[in-house]
Structure 1
């Protein structure tokens, strides 16, 4: 009996220790979240961004367009498919949305319900183009179709208009085909689009660390052609660690209260 009792006590102690260890290992709830997002770009810093996120255990949301890359291809081509596949499979639970296929910037509404846009990619890059509401919806859907083909996963029904440029009519047209727009907080504009000679990395970092507050959506890119001194990972890593030191944490837009209803998240 004594031997059996000792065995039961050892077993109970082991169960309690395992439960305590699991509780200690479980991540704390994110009570003061910020929402780090990336739009596609020339992809030159994409692997570095992914590595920082992995090292710091930070989930992020990515908005996809088929943009020209430094290697002469496109951000959603077969060369980059394995990278997107690995990112989508990460246990960090990254999220993904649309940025339009050819990176169409809204210019004006048209009386017939369509839109004047200017794509920066594709066969009509740099030219003024007219899109009907249905054609704009198709532009939003193309990255979703490609992402599913690359990863087997669906994009969130969220999009970011290139440059954040929209109108009430464009937002209504996108909403009618199931897409909700995501902008960013004023302090969340991380400045990687700005010229590095006027806005050096240390200045951008200092401004971001001082201004960002819980609930802010942050925006950066996976490579900006015009910036000579790359923002990532030089600013990204100290930004993440600095925000953590302020008691902030990171979540994807799945958890953002403004989009939970649209996403069907309780």
Structure 2
């Protein structure tokens, strides 16, 4: 059934096409504006958080931003780990006795830029550290999900994480909303037009709470017309707790 909202026609909850909007952390400079847009448009999302360097305050999971995260929890958003140090997987390494090990390079914190070799247990601990911090600042248990920085993983890394109770979440090809791309080559109006044309029901969408390198910020300039345009096309928004690929995992792992 279609219902009228002002001048726009949107699908009712019974027949809408679901989308799953997610945000990774970043410099947090546009985080308050993004929260305003989400609230105004009644959209719930899943935030993947790491403790990254920010434009103000002591990092994205520090004390300065703790009230912001707590407010998002009160609004009904969901949370998951993005690894505490925004730790990139750079490759698999042969370990003794066949135990897989991984070359990891954090991009945040005191070890930023260092290349290290971690066991699967160390990587799991890194996922859990961000989740524990989120639980502390939000008062809400994060989902047993994580997103590797850059979406970079290997089958062995995913298996190690799952053995510790963490399932990885990527994004749909059309769900890459382009806020990491240079604005000189990918202006906001072009990114908006592409997203509205390409996104399909069931897609997981991904953007950030601030990208250092983008001169013309994607959010919130693109976010509000994107949400409104997608709603007018019959889409609706859910958190990953409701995603058919993950809801069974979440229910089975204490989420």
Which deviations, in whole Å up to 9, do the C-alpha atoms of 1:233-254 show, x marking residues without a partner? 1000000000001001100001
Quick check: 2:57–2:64 contact (8 Å CA) kept in 1? no
Equivalence map 1:6-45=2 (5 Å): 28-29=13-14, 31-45=16-30
Q: 2:172 aligns with which of 185, 188, 191?
A: 185
User: Which residue matches 1:97?
Assistant: 80
* Structure ID, larger Rg: 1
Query: How well do the aligned residues superpose, as a CA RMSD in angstroms?
Result: 1.1
Structure 1 match to 2:113: 126
Checking the alignment, whether the CA contact within 8 Å between 1:40 and 1:222 is kept in structure 2 is yes
Per the alignment, residue 78 of structure 1 pairs with 63
What count of residue pairs does the alignment treat as equivalent?
237
Contact map agreement 1:109 1:167 (CA 8 A) in 2: yes
Kindly state the Cα deviation for residue 150 of structure 1 after the two structures are TM-superposed.
1.1
Structure 1 residue runs without a partner (length 5+): 1-26
Q: Name the SS of the counterpart of 1:174 in structure 2.
A: helix
- Match of 1:61? 46
CA distance in 2 between counterparts of 1:157 and 1:165 reads: 18
Asked if the contact 2:13–2:236 (Cα under 8 Å) also holds between the matched residues in 1, the reply is: no
| Preserved contact between residue 30 and residue 250 of structure 1 (Cα < 8 Å) | no
> Is contact 2:88–2:148 with CA below 8 Å preserved after alignment?
yes
Query: Which residue pairs with 2:236 in the alignment?
Result: 249
CA–CA distance in structure 1, aligned partners of residues 199 and 132 of structure 2: 34
Alignment partner of 1:202 is 2:189: yes
Give the match's secondary structure for 1:264.
helix
**Partner Cα distance (2:51, 2:117) in 1:** 19
Separation in structure 1 between the aligned mates of residue 149 and residue 86 of structure 2, nearest angstrom: 6
**Structure 1 segment 210-229 matched on structure 2, within 5 A:** 210-229=197-216
- The 5-angstrom pairing of residues 147-186 of structure 1 reads 147-186=134-173
**CA distance in structure 2 between the aligned counterparts of 1:73 and 1:95, rounded to whole angstroms:** 22
* Higher normalized strand content (fraction of residues): 2
State the distance in 2 between where 1:227 and 1:141 align: 30
CA contact (8 A) 2:57 2:65 kept: no
- The Cα of 1:72 is off from its aligned counterpart by 5.0
Contact 1:38 1:62 in 2 (8 A): yes
Residues 143-200 of structure 1 show CA distances to partners (whole Å, capped at 9, x for unaligned) of 1111121122111001000000000000000000000000000000000000111100
Residue in structure 2 matched with residue 14 of structure 1 by the alignment: none
Cα offset for 1:31?
Answer: 3.4
- The 8 Å contact of residues 40 and 63 in structure 1, kept in 2 or not, is answered as yes
**How many Å separate the matches in 2 of 1:208 and 1:101?**
30
Deviation string 1:69-88 (CA, Å, 9 cap, x unpaired) is 00152000001000000001
Q: Which has the higher helix share?
A: 1
**In structure 2, distance between residues paired with 1:88 and 1:248:** 23
Which structure 1 residue ranges, 4+ long, deviate > 2 Å from structure 2? Answer: 27-31
Give the superposition deviation at 1:126: 1.2
